[in-house]
Structure 1
């Protein structure tokens, strides 16, 4: 199928954004597409004729975010740490398709997350900063495990100021407590509960040690000093 036909199918995707941080509401996606994910600003789909890439299609009132994200990808260039921008249209970005479980899925499935992943994300953050970007909003669902290495797949907030502290919390938790749960399957409801508590308190209002104590208590474990 030629690119014009695919672009025509992309235009048929019918969805809209919602207030605050709610996911987009989808009315219809042509069945030829495989849905990879939904976000607050866009849907991500894959076409069978182009299995090495995905299309991130933005809601009509979020096109300014499409422009900002395209700028980020262009600054990042061809990096081993990030997905790559392969093209763009009026309301979409065409991005390299990256395979592998997210760190969230690793915890759900009991897949071991090696220290190398932490080191790779730290290197990715340094790489982004060196290109005038602010790598933030890095969390369990936008880092993939690929052959023992990390790949960051969402750069949508790298033009924003400030530091949400999410990755730093995860690193501290990993290095202090991960050995206690390594290889264990952690249910999604429990991870969502931890995330909800994080949003309620915010970075700096509650320590990683206190988060970990509550988490380990819920799964019947404790850390020995």
Structure 2
């Protein structure tokens, strides 16, 4: 394991798991590790001497998710649409470092999301199904725009049953609404408001992208009129 010298640093990382799908709290990160990303189960860090890889370190409460993701990556090996898993430790995975902006950041920064990204994510989903996985939990923050192509990260839920519908809803929203906002910067507060509203309506059942868009537009108009 060529990354073995980094393992003592990884063992020093202190994380706090937060309920209700909130991001992990980083309590201690030893230098020279650099924080790359924060999720609800784990953080992604990088060592300056190993620039081609990152370490996904899980909270103690979510080590089961690490095992799930490791199994999923083993099945996905060889696909150009997914990161490469080089190995695993007790609380971490060693993954290829993937450059690129998440689709979430593209919306915030006004970077155009080409339609081929939608098509490539669907091809990635088809490949995952072909190797016995169930691609789910695909959303704006785990799809990268990489040199004009799609790269998917975070596959820990691919071993779980059921369809959460998240990517299907995003595809519908892309075709219905994205032409009106393409290239425009969307404030983070608005992105987060949409996310909270989406979760709330989806939990209530009978979710419709068209109805959600209509209600959201009315809410935004009322907010702007008050200001």
* Contact 1:194–1:211 (Cα < 8 Å) also in 2: no
**What are the equivalent positions in structure 2 for 1:181-200 lying under 5 Å apart?**
181-200=181-200
Aligned mates of 2:183, 2:62 — CA distance in 1: 40
Question: Does the aligned pair in 1 maintain the 2:69–2:154 contact within 8 Å?
Answer: no
TM-score, normalization by structure 2: 0.91
Contact map agreement 2:74 2:85 (CA 8 A) in 1: yes
The equivalent of 2:10 in structure 1 is 10
Q: Call closer, same or farther: CA 1:187–1:214 in 2, change over 3 Å.
A: farther
**Counterpart position of 1:32:** 32
Q: Say whether 1:79 aligns with 2:68.
A: no
Asked if 1:134 is matched to 2:122, the reply is no
Cα deviation for residue 206 of structure 1 reads: 3.3
- What's 2:144 paired with? 144
Across the two proteins, how many residue pairs are aligned to each other?
219
Q: Per-residue deviation at 1:219?
A: 7.0
C-alpha distance in 1, partners of 2:39/2:95?
15
Partner residue, 2:124: 124
Q: Distance in 2 between matches of 1:39 and 1:120?
A: 24
Alignment deviations for residues 136-168 of structure 1 (CA, whole Å, 9 cap, x no partner) = 010111100011111111111111111111110
Structure 1, residues 85-139: CA drift from partner, whole Å, max 9, x if none? 0111121100011111110111111111000000000000000001111100101
- State the partner residue of 1:223: none
Gaps of 5+ in 1: 221-225
Q: Deviations over 1:56-106 (max 9, x none)?
A: 111223222211110000000021111110111121100011111110111
Q: How does 1:1-225 map to 2 (within 5 A)?
A: 3-202=3-202, 205-217=206-218, 218=220
RMSD of the TM alignment (CA)? 1.7
Secondary structure of the equivalent of 1:73?
A: helix
Task: Indicate conservation of the 8 Å contact 2:107/2:184, yes or no.
Answer: yes
The structural deviation recorded for 1:215 is 4.1
**TM-superposed deviation, 1:212:** 2.2
C-alpha distance in 2 between matches for 1:18 and 1:191: 21
CA distance in 2, matches of 1:106, 1:39: 18
